[in-house]
Amino acid sequence: MIKLNISTKKRNEIIDITKDIENIVQKEKIENGFLIIFVPHTTAGIIINEGADKNVRYDIIEKMKNIFPKDNNYLHLEGNSDAHIKSSLFGSSEIILIENNNMILGTWQHIFFYEGDGPRNRKIFIKIFVEK
């Protein structure tokens, strides 16, 4: 299992981690298999979506803030229920296929770390499984 450290600077942030994951895959020289990316934090998640235009990330954050406002008469007193809900919806993990030493991603797909209650120092776990 490989750990990746991520520092966020805002409350809501979507950070591109595609190259970090790519570097890990290429070091391991995997012909065939898959990898699991797992976030061990309850206000964060992993998103696969368009990476070319940063406005897509902006729109995801803003629209989700609009639907799940920070303050909404939540019972949980830490002021981050919105982030817990969004984390549950984006999901704590992603699974990506590997062939010939490369992740199988679409032309526009990037891998993102989502944080909804930053700024924080976070980590993600990556584990590669080889097909034998």
CB 80 within 8 A of CB 15: no
- The candidate with the shortest Cα–Cα distance to 11, out of 67, 76, 86, 73, is 86
Q: Could you say which residues in the range 30-89 bind a copy of itself, by CB under 8 A?
A: 34, 36, 38-42, 47-50, 53, 55-56, 58-60, 63-64, 67-68, 72, 74-78, 81, 84-85, 87-89
Can the peptide bond before residue 40 be classed as cis, meaning omega within 30 degrees of 0?
no
In angstroms, the CA 111 to CA 33 distance is 18
Closer to a copy of itself by CB, 16 or 78: give it. 78
Cα torsion angle, 67, 109, 10, 24, sign: positive
- The candidate with the shortest Cα–Cα distance to 86, out of 7, 3, 6, 13, is 13
Binding of residue 113 to a copy of itself (CB under 8 A): no
Binding of residue 121 to a copy of itself (CB under 8 A): no
Closer to a copy of itself by CB, 4 or 105: give it. 105
Q: For binding to a copy of itself (CB under 8 A), which residues are involved?
A: 1, 34, 36, 38-42, 47-50, 53, 55-56, 58-60, 63-64, 67-68, 72, 74-78, 81, 84-85, 87-97, 99, 104-109, 125, 127, 129, 131-132
